[in-house]
Structure 1
Amino acid sequence: MTDPGKAAQHEDLVIAEGVDEEPIEPNRRIFEGRGFIFISAVSTIYAFFHIAALNGLGISALTGGLVQIPYLPEFPMETWNFRIVHIAGALGLGFMLFAGRGFADSRDDETRMMEYIAWALMVPALMSLGVALSFAVEIANGVAWNGIDAGIQFKETWLYGLPLMIATAGGILLSWFNKRERTYIAAVDFVLTVCAISVAAYLITIYGTLMRNSTGTPFAPIGISIAAVAGALLIMELTRRVAGLALVVIALVFLVYVFAGQYLPGFLKSPAVTWERFFSQVYTDAGILGPTTAVSSTYIILFIIFAAFLQASKVGDYFVNFAFAAAGRARGGPAKVAIFASGLMGMINGTSAGNVVATGSLTIPLMKKVGYHKKVAGAIEAGASTGGQIMPPIMGAGAFIMAEITGIPYTEIALAAVIPAILYFLSIFFMVDFEAAKMGMRGMRDDELPKVRNMIKRVYLFVPIIILIAALFMGYSVIRAGTLAIVAAAVVSWLTPFRMGPKSIIKAFDMAGVMSIQIIAVCACAGIIVGVISLTGVGARFSNLLLGLAGVSQLLALFFAMCISILLGMGMPTTAAYAVAASVVAPGLVELDIPPLTAHFFVFYYAVVSAITPPVALASYAAAGISGANAMETSVASFKIGFAAFVVPFMFFYNSALLMDGTVLEIGRALLTASVGVFLLAAGVQGWFLGGRTVWFLRIGLVIAALFMIEGGLITDLIGIGAAAAVFLIQRFIHPSDGSTIPVRGAD
């Protein structure tokens, strides 16, 4: 008989716990006492500010105009001002949370000396802020501001600009050497925070006059250029702290190109431009305040808040447990759980590497337990987590960036993403399943898994996502739909043990503020690159290069576009990778008469899979850190696991029905043949076909059959099916000598 106690314990079995816990980065400060309260308050206010601004929840609006507080912003804010505050807030919060280098065990004499230098730098930082505020007072009192008055130029250069640059450059350099205990904010980071506020105060003041129209002309005040230089330096420094050097190096290369391009040959040659003219324009909607920041300040932070509310109510744990209940019994069960769970979590998470950390800490050890090699376990999680970025309806916020850049309605983009996402996850699933079959793996036992019926009882936890999808397709704005989903997450939590009261809601906003820093920094840094591309015209010249290649071979042009998209995406989170690649590559594809939606999906797909492409594969590196495998070996294995996925963009290029462009019959046939093609390609790569190992020449035959199926024509489909049938018959009746069949062990 079954022990009732054990049965009850099994009923409540929880595989996933702590999936929703926020990972702590190595250079992130951990505060206690008053420091903790201060940082939590700043983070909470910063996140709530965005909800208020996006929904017009100012004090005046909430009180019907009865209460008005001077100097507080009224909502909705003017667009540029909102984006400037958005970046400045992330910079300030980021510098206080993330150290410029490692932490000290104690305060030694060297550290004290650096702190004295840092406090000395606070003097010019505060001076620049004070002068910026004095400009606001002067303009409010009727002073006519312009960029050619000698007196104004003197104030902007020597009273505002010089102190700002001394504090900014000196603070950044000092932060590379200064170490402080982990529970304290280094003095130099307070200096950089003041510099960020000074940049924002000046730009909001000056852009509030007619000077906004003078950017990029000789009439632009010199202060705009100096503030932009300081702002760009601060953005790149924070990006280095939260995302590493890869994106910073790329941004620096593009900035050098601005001034060195006039000396380069061929299509790389660009017109000469002065630093004043360039920087007066780069901190506008042509660059830093452009599409990347537009999306990070609206859609991305909105869905980060949504994700934080889901975390606070432990819905992420439920997602992973649901995946275990649904897929854990299949052979190699934890690997298939990783595919399912990472798809659910990853569509909300804006970074592939962050998704690996969230779900991989659970799935990777379990994959190793059932027999996967540690590098393969890491590779599977990296591939699955990366796929979450192309999973509609959110696509790691990629859908909203694409809508912002292309002008194509969000609903059309989300629908078009369905089949490519299915094909991606099918390819990963087949690769994982064939790997498990070759190794004779079993699934997990019933007593290792949560009960399906218990998971079904709590399926209401999907309600916030269902409300989000329904609201979007009912025509609500993304902001309104996202806000409704956030409210729904709080309401649904009352049906769980993790009810969200005022403390939990404040904690969720606090988490959102912290979670948003990395993506805001990289989007702003990507904005620098986008600004260089748009202001130098290199994107148009690259388009001409693609046109020239297409004259030789359209396939060659697409292959070149694929390589550039992957190269530009290496080392970047998805949103930044796509934004940069969309600026460089997508216009060239559109020039080839490729529909804009197809061109941008092509670029987006490869920008996403750059996270598992050696040698710089962020998702693979994150997975290797959890699995204990070599990082490069894991990235090579993840490339193999995701190999079939690299063909998918060429599939929807040659067959637009895969992007929902066609009749129901055409779309259904395209999905069926493409799915078969992905199956055959995975079988050829893994060397396992219909229950047995496959010799090398039959593997080549399977790959060829897959490529014919992928093309999408009736004749090519028939050829592909015929080739696959021939491989099956040879394997079944001739039994090539080096083939073998290993029986698969079932679940114990």
Structure 2
Amino acid sequence: MTDRTEPQQDRPEGPVVAEGVDKEPVEGNRRLYRGWHWWLVTTAAALYAAFHMAALNGLSISAMTGGAVDLPFLPSFPMETWNFRIVHIAGALALGFVLYAGRSFTLAPEVERRWLSWLAWALMAPAVFALGAAVSFAVSIAGGTSWNGMDAGIRAAEIWRFGVPLMVATVGAILVSWAQRRTRDAIHPADLVLAVCGAAVATYLVTIYGTLMRNSTGTPFAPIGISIAAVAGTLLIMELTRRVAGLALVVISAVFLLYVFTGQFLPGFLNAPAISWERFFSQVYTDAGILGPTTAVSSTYIILFIIFAAFLQASKVGDYFVNFAFALAGRARGGPAKVAIFASGLMGMINGTSAGNVVATGSLTIPLMKKVGYDKRTAGAIEASASTGGQILPPIMGAGAFIMAEITGIPYTEIAVAAIIPALLYFVAVYFMVDFEAAKLGMRGMRDEELPKLAQMARQAFLFVPIVILIYALFQGYSVIRAGTLATAAAAVVSWLTPHRMGLGAIARAFHLAGTMSIQIIAVCACAGIIVGVISLTGVGARFSNLLLGLAAASQLLALVFAMLIAILLGMGMPTTAAYAVAASVVAPGLVELGIPQLTAHFFVFYFAVVSAITPPVALASYAAAGVSGANPMETSVVSFKIGIAAFVVPFMFFYNSALLMQADWLEIARAAATAVFGVFLLSAGVQGWFLGARAVWFLRAALVAAALMMIEGSLATDVAGVLAAAAILFVQRIVRPKPGATIPVRGAD
């Protein structure tokens, strides 16, 4: 088949130049402030991000000035771990409620209901009263008062002076915020009330946990205030998560919370012992739940790399990535689709959210894909698949690598190295799928005059220096925090070699951007911590492990398929980090119980949690892409599933052959990688119906898929069988040459 060129009027006019592709989209409920409101919120967001950078690197005003300036009211670094995580969540809650309204804004003028504002201001009184009570408790404890959950006087004080006002303000303000009507540049007082409630929760918990009362959580000696503060904190986290990430994770969290108190009535492995609300909530806001692994990662690695991404954006590296991809791959057939693979993979690796990356880079690549001949469903699906793949691309892996290291205790560098071949297989498969689709449609690439000049892009290759420094520092044994800090500083330094030099103003804007960008992922991680807490405190994870063991007794493959389905189901509608954290708590321990190595088990879960973003019926990345392309969301998710089909096969490949995770000698690793690449090539050819320059009839497509599956097991015998099957298919294709639509092979012209 000869290639065809799209009509001139359908091609982009002039060269394609990416600008602002890494800018954060403005959500429908996001407030856009002006004047002094903007300055106030911007400063708060910048200070929040800068606080984390200082805390993570152990900096303080006193240390940086050699003791010349000492401000005792500021926190000293390094902070105590639990206190740092509590403050981390409280800051995100305050910023989040100020920046995100309880409902989306409309284009029509909003009618303000004044009585709701008056009610909200009235709720400020109990919120401030609760905050004041928490402060008074701190003063009393500092003065030597012995605090004990068994003391009737202390219990009454915590309930009536702190708990009741806090719950009235929290619940009331959430309900009022749902009904609010205000302009987009004005904050509703109900959201200020919620911010004060978050501060009250944090103040109380920091005070009480600082008295070693953390050891009493889950016992009758735990002060009742811990349980009440945890209930309020849980409600605040779930409400902010609803605002910034939608209902999916909130509904799942609510179901798990309901399970805590109904599990005693359920049959089979779901049956759980009865637990009182005081005991459960006194534990859930600890490192067994909300302050556990998910918040540990969001308060350290994730926010650090969000700051890194903000500095890259300020130095225009995101634009450079996309322009470099256009210069490198734009000339290939179906050029914009292949650009999307490279650019979205790089951007998705850094920003940690496939749906957000779709909106950012897809705003450029999807229209171009449509112009060169891809239908709108396929254009959106390619972008969704590529952006999702960025979450499994080392070294950052959308922050997933850091959560895996935190949960498993496996060194980060080992995880990053193990991820190389699986990520390669995924992107190679997506590339083949895109290339075969372009071949079937007879597409050409973009013309030279439409593309950035590769020579010019090569002269700006120094913009890759921050990422090179990051990788080098990590593999030289530097801590993740030190490596991330060095890479962030490098982003500011290399900007001075470009027109976008980062001065103090630009650095402040980068911190502001980081503080704003971090809100969603912090809320999501805290909300996922609620689910992790339920799993650990009810023991449902152990019972799920027993269920997998029972299935494995019948068939290990059946157990793996069941684990795959549960990981996808738990991940649907959730960002990558939350999806993996929840699935790792439920599914991974069961796989380890089956005798599967810990690294393999967690990678297996991680991949399926990631691809839930392109798995129907709830596919966040595909739905975001459909919004950009104008296609039907469900149809786009189905095509995304087809394009990303390799991601559903690769985990079984490295389960059967650990060499794909670098767990073997180099010769075995090389053989496994080569045969696996050939396997995904055959799989892509079978799915797309295009094999070595010609369309494949239905039975050859089936044979190609069968040959690809032979490569999964990883043994030499099955690899040889797969290669021989591919040779037989090629013989039939080239010599027998069956006609399209034939039911049996016949000889004839194509």
Tell me which amino acid in the other structure corresponds to 2:105. Answer: F
CA offsets, 1:380-438, max 9 Å, x none? Answer: 00000000000000000111100000000000000000000000001101111111111
Q: Is the 8 A contact 1:102 1:179 kept in 2?
A: no
Tell me which amino acid in the other structure corresponds to 2:320. Answer: Y
Q: Distance in 1 between matches of 2:212 and 2:87?
A: 20
Secondary structure in 2 matching 1:710: coil
Residue 83 of structure 1, aligned match among 72, 82, 85: 85
Give the aligned partner of residue 515 of structure 1.
517
Give the aligned partner of residue 214 of structure 2.
212
Give the aligned partner of residue 647 of structure 2.
645
Give the aligned partner of residue 613 of structure 2.
611
Give the aligned partner of residue 6 of structure 2.
none
Aligned residue runs from structure 1 range 724-743, under 5 A: 724-738=726-740
Q: Distance in 2 between matches of 1:143 and 1:596?
A: 47
Aligned residue runs from structure 1 range 183-194, under 5 A: 183-194=185-196
Q: Is the 8 A contact 1:692 1:739 kept in 2?
A: no
1:645 CA displacement: 2.0
Q: Distance in 1 between matches of 2:70 and 2:162?
A: 31
Give the aligned partner of residue 374 of structure 1.
376
Secondary structure in 2 matching 1:347: helix
Give the aligned partner of residue 5 of structure 2.
none
CA offsets, 1:450-483, max 9 Å, x none? Answer: 1111111000000000000000001110000000
Secondary structure in 2 matching 1:637: helix
Aligned residue runs from structure 1 range 244-323, under 5 A: 244-323=246-325
Q: Distance in 1 between matches of 2:28 and 2:329?
A: 34
CA offsets, 1:162-219, max 9 Å, x none? Answer: 0000000011111111121000011100000000000000000000002111001010
Q: Distance in 2 between matches of 1:227 and 1:150?
A: 18
Q: Is the 8 A contact 2:613 2:619 kept in 1?
A: yes
1:640 CA displacement: 0.7
Aligned residue runs from structure 1 range 662-741, under 5 A: 662-738=664-740
Q: Is the 8 A contact 2:425 2:646 kept in 1?
A: no
1:13 CA displacement: 5.3
Q: Distance in 2 between matches of 1:213 and 1:18?
A: 49
Give the aligned partner of residue 9 of structure 2.
none
CA offsets, 1:34-62, max 9 Å, x none? Answer: 11001101100000000010011112222
Q: Distance in 2 between matches of 1:584 and 1:540?
A: 8
Q: Is the 8 A contact 1:657 1:667 kept in 2?
A: yes
CA offsets, 1:133-171, max 9 Å, x none? Answer: 000110111101110111110110011000000000011
Secondary structure in 2 matching 1:311: helix
Secondary structure in 2 matching 1:348: helix
Tell me which amino acid in the other structure corresponds to 2:277. Answer: W
Residue 557 of structure 1, aligned match among 553, 559, 562: 559
Q: Distance in 2 between matches of 1:319 and 1:121?
A: 49
Q: Is the 8 A contact 1:20 1:312 kept in 2?
A: no
CA offsets, 1:616-639, max 9 Å, x none? Answer: 000000000000001111001100
Q: Identity over the aligned pairs, expressed in percent?
A: 76
Tell me which amino acid in the other structure corresponds to 2:504. Answer: P
Give the aligned partner of residue 102 of structure 1.
104
Residue 634 of structure 1, aligned match among 622, 633, 636: 636
Q: Distance in 1 between matches of 2:461 and 2:375?
A: 34
Q: Is the 8 A contact 1:694 1:739 kept in 2?
A: no
Give the aligned partner of residue 499 of structure 1.
501
- Number of residue equivalences: 729
Give the aligned partner of residue 432 of structure 2.
430
Give the aligned partner of residue 583 of structure 1.
585
Is the aligned partner of 1:120 residue 2:133? no
Tell me which amino acid in the other structure corresponds to 2:178. Answer: W
Q: Is the 8 A contact 1:139 1:145 kept in 2?
A: yes
Tell me which amino acid in the other structure corresponds to 1:473. Answer: F
Tell me which amino acid in the other structure corresponds to 1:152. Answer: I
Q: Is the 8 A contact 1:582 1:603 kept in 2?
A: yes
CA offsets, 1:694-729, max 9 Å, x none? Answer: 111111100110011121111111111111111111
Structure 1 gaps of 5+ residues are 1-9, 741-748
CA offsets, 1:78-99, max 9 Å, x none? Answer: 0000000000000000000000
Q: Is the 8 A contact 2:28 2:105 kept in 1?
A: no
CA offsets, 1:336-379, max 9 Å, x none? Answer: 00000011111101110011111100000000000000010000
CA-based RMSD: 1.2
Q: Is the 8 A contact 1:673 1:710 kept in 2?
A: no
Tell me which amino acid in the other structure corresponds to 2:256. Answer: F
1:644 CA displacement: 2.0
Q: Distance in 2 between matches of 1:38 and 1:112?
A: 25
Tell me which amino acid in the other structure corresponds to 2:387. Answer: S
Q: Is the 8 A contact 1:569 1:608 kept in 2?
A: yes
Q: Distance in 1 between matches of 2:84 and 2:65?
A: 22
Give the aligned partner of residue 334 of structure 2.
332
Give the aligned partner of residue 204 of structure 2.
202
Residue 451 of structure 2, aligned match among 449, 452, 455: 449
Q: Distance in 1 between matches of 2:719 and 2:105?
A: 60
Give the aligned partner of residue 138 of structure 1.
140
Give the aligned partner of residue 360 of structure 2.
358
Give the aligned partner of residue 602 of structure 1.
604
TM-score under structure 2 length normalisation? 0.96
Give the aligned partner of residue 391 of structure 1.
393
1:18 CA displacement: 1.6
CA offsets, 1:577-611, max 9 Å, x none? Answer: 00000000000000011000000000000000000
Give the aligned partner of residue 5 of structure 1.
none
Q: Is the 8 A contact 2:297 2:406 kept in 1?
A: yes
Secondary structure in 1 matching 2:351: coil
Give the aligned partner of residue 344 of structure 1.
346
Secondary structure in 2 matching 1:651: helix
1:655 CA displacement: 0.3
Q: Distance in 2 between matches of 1:590 and 1:729?
A: 44
Q: Is the 8 A contact 1:128 1:160 kept in 2?
A: yes
Tell me which amino acid in the other structure corresponds to 1:700. Answer: A
Tell me which amino acid in the other structure corresponds to 2:346. Answer: L
Q: Is the 8 A contact 1:428 1:645 kept in 2?
A: no
Q: Distance in 2 between matches of 1:58 and 1:77?
A: 11
1:14 CA displacement: 5.3
1:66 CA displacement: 4.1
CA offsets, 1:512-542, max 9 Å, x none? Answer: 0000000000000000000000000000000
Which stretch shifts more, 97-106 or 598-607? 97-106
